[in-house]
């Protein structure tokens, strides 16, 4: 039985597309990385899914990196115990080799399409591609507006924060949790585990902490403390001997959503306005600053409405993208793409 973990290494945020693709696998640990190139519908995701299925059956430790724009597609697969990674290296997360040949290889599935067929569909391809780009501008505008009201909520709650209670909590965390971790050099991986998709907000955090001995829960509203507490914990762990995964807020990646220390089976997780989850664990900051106001209610209403608008526009892009994929699929020689599968496996296993 393989050990499978799921991530979003890039997502749509209030500030545009944010990518952590450089963190999918460390170049120091990687033995082989394959960058897939090619247009939509050329079989990149299907190839990665088939490779993933092989690794699962083989019992390898596996990571799936999901596409935030198309939840049915993959952006990357990593077999950790083999030091192998295959990923989609096209826009908006364009990747190119740093050590070509020695570690990385480019595989272009565009080599297997009929260019003449695509040229006949030139106008449709240009129109759909430009339309998708135009809609994404609306998506980012809506997410930016949602973030505006989210930051309004932060400011409102911060002004009412009980500073003494907050500082005491930081002291408790330092003395009772962090002090037991020895000083040293950390391994710090930054990425996303939650994403705003056309099917709503999706997250994989619960699978990351399944079976953990210590789960510390941060809840409350924006600005009540959870964002600053996670930032404090992150800074303190940067001088500790630990391996940590830092998952950032999918709307505003300037803030941390969760911190997980897999080797210690320890996690700091936040119940927030995006994942709407409830965690089993020790609640650290329950009701630090409960306040109610008509102003806050209006901020929440606007925040949620702009998130809904962004999701609605993402649904529109997914429909157009699927139609674009149909054009490319008709121009592809998938028998030749199948030969690429065998080449990838050979690269991974040898």
Q: What is the pLDDT of residues 241-274, one digit of tens each?
A: 999 999 999 999 999 999 999 999 999 999 998 8
| Residue 129 backbone phi and psi in degrees, to 5 | -65, -45
What pTM, to 2 d.p., does this model score? 0.94
pLDDT digits (tens, 9 = 90+) for 80-105: 999 999 999 998 888 898 899 999 99
Residues 201-224, mean pLDDT to the nearest whole number: 94
pLDDT class of 1 with cuts at 50, 70, 90: very low
pLDDT class of 51 with cuts at 50, 70, 90: very high
Q: Are strands 256-261 and 243-248 parallel, antiparallel or unpaired?
A: antiparallel
Percent of the chain residues past pLDDT 90, beyond the cut: 79
Residues 122-140, mean pLDDT to the nearest whole number: 97
| Residue 71 backbone phi and psi in degrees, to 5 | -65, -15
Cα separation, 113 vs 121, in Å, equals 13
Whose CA is closest to 286, among 226, 206, 215, 213? 226
Q: What is the 3-state secondary structure (H, E, C) of the chain?
A: CCEEEEEECEEEEECEEEECHHHCCCCCCCCEEEEEECCCCCCHHHHHHHHHHHHHHHCCEEEEEECCCCCCCEEEEEEHHHCEEEEECCCCCCCCCCCECCCEEEEEHHHHECHHHHHHCHHHHHHHHHHHHHHHHHHHHHHHHHHHHHHHHHHHHHHCCCHHHHHHHHHHHHHHCHHHCCECCCEEEEEECEEEECCEEEECHHHHCCCCCEEEEECCCCCCCHHHHHHHHHHHHCCECCEEEEEECCCCCCCEEEEEEHHHCEEEEECCCCCCCCCCCEECCCCCCCCCCHHHHHHHHHHHHHHHHHHHHHHHHHHHHHHHHHHHHHCECHHHHHHHHHHHHHHHHC
Please, are residues 142 and 309 in contact by the beta-carbon 8 Å criterion? yes
Please, are residues 321 and 132 in contact by the beta-carbon 8 Å criterion? yes
pLDDT class of 291 with cuts at 50, 70, 90: low
More confident residue, 140 or 1: 140
Cα separation, 317 vs 294, in Å, equals 35
Distance from the first to the final alpha carbon of the chain: 22
Cα separation, 174 vs 172, in Å, equals 5
278 Cβ contact list (under 8 Å, min separation 6): 271
Residues 8-34, mean pLDDT to the nearest whole number: 93
Average pLDDT over the chain reads: 93
Cα separation, 108 vs 100, in Å, equals 14
């Amino acid at each position: 039985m393989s050990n499978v973990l799921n991530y979003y290494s890039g997502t749509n945020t209030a500030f545009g597309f944010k990518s952590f693709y450089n963190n999918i696998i460390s170049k120091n640990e990687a033995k082989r990385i394959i960058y897939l190139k090619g247009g939509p519908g050329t079989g990149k995701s299907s190839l990665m899914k088939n490779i993933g299925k092989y690794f699962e059956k083989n019992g390898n430790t596996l990571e799936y990196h999901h596409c935030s724009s198309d939840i049915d597609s993959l952006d990357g697969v990593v077999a950790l115990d083999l030091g192998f990674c295959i990923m989609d290296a096209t826009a908006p997360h364009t990747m190119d080799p740093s050590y070509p040949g020695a570690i990385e290889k480019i595989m272009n599935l565009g080599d297997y399409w009929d260019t003449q067929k695509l040229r006949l569909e030139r106008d449709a391809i240009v129109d759909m591609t430009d339309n998708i780009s135009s809609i994404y501008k609306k998506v980012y505008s809506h997410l930016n507006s949602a973030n505006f009201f989210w930051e309004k909520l932060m400011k409102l709650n911060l002004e009412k924060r009980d500073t003494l209670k907050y500082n005491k909590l930081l002291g408790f965390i330092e003395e009772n949790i962090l002090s037991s971790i020895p000083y040293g050099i950390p391994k710090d991986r930054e990425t996303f585990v939650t994403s705003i998709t056309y099917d709503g907000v999706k997250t994989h955090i619960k699978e990351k902490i399944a079976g953990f001995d210590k789960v510390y829960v941060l809840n409350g509203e924006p600005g009540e403390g959870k964002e600053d507490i996670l930032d404090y914990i992150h800074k303190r762990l940067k001088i500790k001997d630990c391996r940590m995964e830092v998952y950032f807020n999918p709307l505003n990646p300037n803030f941390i959503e969760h911190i997980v220390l897999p080797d210690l089976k320890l996690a700091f997780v936040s119940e927030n306005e995006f994942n709407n989850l409830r965690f089993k664990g020790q609640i650290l900051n329950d009701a630090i600053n409960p306040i109610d106001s008509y102003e806050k209610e209006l901020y929440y209403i606007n925040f949620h409405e702009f998130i809904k608008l962004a999701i609605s526009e993402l649904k529109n892009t997914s429909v157009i993208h699927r139609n674009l994929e149909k054009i490319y699929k008709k121009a592809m020689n998938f028998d030749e793409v199948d030969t690429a599968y065998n080449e990838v496996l050979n690269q991974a296993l040898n």
